[in-house]
A and B are shown apart, each in its own frame.
Chain A
Amino acid sequence: MIDPGQAVEAGKGRPRDAKLLSAIVFGLAFGFLLQKGGVAKCNVLIGQLLLQDFTVVKVMLTAIVVGMVGIFALNHFAKVNLHLLPTRVGAQVIGGVIFGIGFALLAYCPGTGAAALGQGSWDVVFGLAGLVAGSLLYAELSGRLKKSVETWGDLGKMTIADLFHVPRLPFALATAALLTVGLVGLHRAFPR
């Protein structure tokens, strides 16, 4: 998606193969970090859902804070495009709930599940088969869902800053600061 007013031709002019090669490097790094963080272990993921082990939220919030500052700074200086997904209230609440139930059952998510396979947690194989089957099920119904559920509360592509009509970079920096305070509190309340 090209960000209005700050269009960047990032990646353009680079051959498609070079882009695919970059996925190899980024995939390796992603899987490596997920496993080292412990989030490819099902007790860590279930522990988060049982509110016993806060590793997952710590990893996610730190990634969000670091990523947010960098991405909005780079976007402000027109170095990267944002890749916003549409906000569809109905589909996202329903989809999020269905995902959450599945997450607790499988005890891995789509990204950490891939890292778990590399880690030799073979039970994830059943889950990966389910992920492929579930994707196909969605695709089968996608025509109907697009005309019904996905139109409920469709607000298009927007950031929370746009919602409040405030400039993006300052809002992102303030949010990152607030989340950092939250992380410090989380760290004090839960050693792991």
Chain B
Amino acid sequence: MNRCVLAALLVAPSAAIAADFGVNALTYDGGAWSPYVVGAGIGVLSWCTFYFADKALGASSAYATLAGLIGKLVAPRHIESLEYYRCNPPHLDWGLVLVLFTIVGGLVAAWTGSEFRNEWLHPMWVDRFGDDLVLRGVVACAGGVLMAFGARLAGGCTSGHGISGTLQLNAGSWLTVIAMFIAGIATAMLLYGAR
């Protein structure tokens, strides 16, 4: 019963709309490992960060810390006067080190799996929007600005709310993730919809 409802909820809209898309995401590379193995690994990683570091996994605040550190080089007094940085003084902290080494972890995984891409534009983007790097740069940068602003307003991103918050049954995290996905699905369908 449960499964039928779930399948109906997911299949009906996707089957109805997917046929009209200019792109089919499944024609490009997927993950090297099973999503269940990777998901379980991230779950166990959460146990470890809680137990050994008394911290929850999260990514977005690292960008705010980095922004504060850069801002402090230019206008230290102004940065210190801002409400966010008064509550979260920027320094090389656990969250920033975590994200810096997330980059290295991605490199190691890509390297060991012969998946290092070394490309400026993903083939799916090129198939849908062409090979203009300026267009991609502007869209990606705008996306980054919106994501960081939204994550700070909501108090976390797809890691902090989407994984760490939801697994703690944090009420606001489930709310945030649902809002993220509804808006993300609507926007992606507009962007990648029928030509």
Contact = CB atoms under 8 A, between A and B. Distances in A.
Nearest to B21: A50
Contacts of A53: 25-26, 30
B139 A26 contact: no
A67 B38 contact: no
Given A104-B187, A186-B10, A96 B116 contact: no
B75 to A, nearest CB: 11
B172 A155 contact: yes
Interface in A169-192: 171-172, 175, 181-186, 188-190, 192
B82 to A, nearest CB: 5
Chain A contact residues: helix, strand, loop or mixed = helix
Interface in A33-88: 33-44, 46-47, 49-55, 58-68, 70-72, 74, 79-88
How many interface residues does chain B have, given as a range?
A: 35 or more
Contacts of A19: 53, 94
B43 A63 contact: yes
Interface of B: 2-3, 6-7, 10-11, 13-14, 17-18, 21, 23-26, 28-33, 35-36, 38-57, 59-60, 62-64, 66-68, 70-71, 79, 82-85, 92-95, 97-110, 113, 115-125, 133, 136-189, 191-192
Interface of A: 8, 10-12, 19-20, 22-44, 46-47, 49-55, 58-68, 70-72, 74, 79-89, 91-107, 109-124, 126-140, 142-143, 145-146, 149-150, 155, 157-163, 168, 171-172, 175, 181-186, 188-190, 192
